[in-house]
Amino acid sequence: MATLRFTKDHEWVRQEGDTATVGITDYAQEQMGDVVYVELPEVGRRVEQGKEAAVVESAKAASEVYAPVSGEIVAVNDVLGGDPAQVNADAMGGGWFMKIRLADPKQLDGLMDQAAYDAFVAEQH
């Protein structure tokens, strides 16, 4: 079963074996408004947990997307280059940003589960 975790920066990460798919949460895309541009990392790039890995821009603001885990980028969602609105349409599915080969799967243990993330978002209001 895929493990779904969340960061306080509103990224989600779904572990599938030794890789993790990463995107921004529904809450994040709602706060941003219409996404107009996504800058994705290059395949093969190494990313560090908590460091900038991508950029997402909306009509309102530009925001960094931080790597929730350390590892190597093994795939990016090329669909977003031509259709960044996919992030708004399906943030937790087809609007994913990148896949990272996990350097240390234990890093996922430090992230929030769905219940903890929902409580965290509720505190933001």
Domains defined along the chain, listed by start: 3-118 (2.40.50.100)
pLDDT-derived band at 4 (thresholds 50, 70, 90) equals very high
From the number of C-beta atoms within 10 Å of its C-beta (0-12, 13-18, 19+), residue 114 rates as exposed
For the cut 60, the answer to whether the pLDDT of residue 1 exceeds it is no
Task: Give 90's contacts (C-beta < 8 A, 6+ positions apart).
Answer: none
Strands annotated E in the chain: 3-6, 11-16, 19-24, 35-39, 46-47, 52-58, 62-66, 71-76, 98-102
Confidence of residue 115 (pLDDT cuts 50, 70, 90): very high
Question: 125 pLDDT exceeds 90?
Answer: no
96 token code pair: 């994913």
CA atoms within 13 A on the CB side of 38: 29
- The mean pLDDT value of the chain amounts to 96
pLDDT tens digits, 17-72: 999 999 999 999 999 999 999 999 999 999 999 999 999 999 998 999 999 999 99
